[in-house]
Amino acid sequence: MGSITGNFQHETVIVTGGSSGIGRAVALAFGEAGATVINADVRSDPKDLDSEAPTHEAIEAEGGVAEYVETDVSNPDQLEAVVRAAREFGGVDVMINNAGVHVSLEFREVSREDFETVQGVNSRGVFFGTQIAAEDMIERDEPGVVLNTASTTATDPEWEHSHYAATKGAIRMITRSAALELAQYDIRVNSVAPGPIATEITEGWSERAGESIGSEEDPTPPTRAGRPTDLAGAYLYLASEQADYVTGEHLQVDGGSQVA
């Protein structure tokens, strides 16, 4: 198969939650494509078992430009700080609101504290991350792209995911609402909805990464567990000129799990 290669030189990309998992894979992909990458996370050290160097150091080791800014996305003031940091590189061109938290709990077990914690990072972080980045783009009179990490649980419920799914459904509608209102400023807003991906956030999936999970008797997709790198191409495409006519979309990247 052919490939689409993106050139993001002279572009500044903020990735929240870029230290591990999907965020790290996406940040590294943009770094490889020539972008200046700012990792906005509560910690710089990766949680991934096979990763040692922090994301910004890994990008710099390959000759790229990157920076780490300690950021709690549930705090809008800290999101404003990381967007200001991007001004040192010309301002944010692509904002990727990826940071998220998840704890498996049955619906009846979810406490108010559990609910508020997940809402604060997942929903509030995306809402104000989108708003703050858009305001910066508008102030600089520059077009831009916002990409939000949702989930297949935004549309399809799963056991022990009620409070998490509520945030991902919210992200889907934050994305569509923002896309509607920000189009006049030449700002595109889309969401990517991963299926089950082998990261530290999904307990048990890391051991299954790359393993075949289909069979001749049951050939329905997905045929293997997803990896963070399976997501990177979707973000690169949606941020690229090839997607200039794409906004308000919710792109599922799930290996076909919603087909079965």
Rounded CA separation 73/71 (Å): 6
Token readout for 30 is: 């943009």
Find tokens 């923002």 and name the residue: 178
Rounded CA separation 121/99 (Å): 7
Provide the 10 A C-beta neighbour count for residue 162.
17
User: What is the bridge-based pairing of β-strands 94-97 and 250-253?
Assistant: unpaired
235 catalytic, yes or no?
Answer: no
User: What is the bridge-based pairing of β-strands 187-194 and 12-16?
Assistant: unpaired
Alpha-carbon dihedral of residues 165, 167, 173, 179, nearest 10 degrees?
-130
DSSP assignment of 174-214 equals HHHHHHHHHGGGTEEEEEEEE-SB-STTSTTTGGGBT-B--
Rounded CA separation 197/216 (Å): 23
- Rounded to 5°, angle at Cα 132 from 151 and 66: 80
Largest CA distance in the chain: 57
Catalytic residue among 164, 235, 237, 245: 164
Catalytic residue set: 164
